[in-house]
Amino acid sequence: MQAAAPRERVAAKAAYAITGPLIVSLGALIPRKGHDIVLDAVATIPGASLLIAGEGPERAALQVRIAARGVADRVRLLGAVPHGDLPALLAATDVMALASTSEGLANAWVEALACGTPIVITDAGGAAEVVTDPAYGRIAARDPAAFAVAIAGLLAAPPASAAVRRGAERFTWEANTAALVDHLASVVAHFSAA
C-alpha cells in the first residue's frame, strides 16, 4: 500500500486520463452517501471531472443519471477501488466531495487531507471536528447547488497541499494514543482526588 501523502497532481491525474479539475467521491453506492448530489454539483462546473469510487445497489441509477445529465465524458464510476490504491487516487484529486446523510468520523475525510486534498462534506457526524480551518475544505448543505459553490471555490483558490495535510495530523495513531493517555490520566487523577 502506498502512503497517504501529497504528490504532483498533474502526473497523478494522468493515470486516470484526466487533465482538468478532478473531484472524487468515495464510498458505497448507496443513497446515504449522496453520490447523486456530488454528480449533479460537478455537472454544473465547466471542465471538471468526477470519479466515483465504490460499488453498490445505486450503480445503475447513477449510470442513468450520468447519461441524463449528458456528462458521460466527465463522470466515471470506478467500481470498488482497493484501499491500497486510494492514496494515489486522492493525491490526484483537487477536491474530495462526499454528501453523506450520516457518518462518524469518516476515514475517507482524513485520508484525503493526508494526501493534501481538501474536502467538501455535509455537517454529518464529526465533520465539524475535521473541517476546523478553511484550508481543510468546506462543510456544505446537502444539495447540489451548495456543493457546486463549495467545490468551485476550492478549485478557484486551492489551498496549499501542506496546509491541507496539517488537517490530518490530529488523527494519527500517535495523536489518538496521546489524547487517550491524557484522558485516562485525568480520569485517574479525578478519582484519586475523591
Assess if residue 175 is contained within a domain. Answer: no
The pLDDT score that the predictor gives to residue 23 is: 98
Q: Is residue 194 in a domain?
A: no
Domain of residue 156 covers 9-165
191: in domain: no
Whether 4 and 111 have beta carbons less than 8 Å apart is answered as yes
Q: Is residue 189 part of a domain?
A: no
CA–chain centroid gap for 19, Å, is 20
What is the mean pLDDT of each successive set of 10 residues along the chain, which is 194 residues long?
61 89 96 96 97 97 97 96 89 94 80 93 88 95 98 96 87 62 76 76
Query: For position 1, what pLDDT does the model report?
Result: 36
What is the structure's pLDDT at 140? 97
Question: CA 151, CA 140: separation in Å to the nearest integer?
Answer: 9
- Single pTM value for the model: 0.85
CATH code for position 29: 3.40.50.2000
Q: What pLDDT, on a 0 to 100 scale, did the predictor assign at position 2?
A: 47
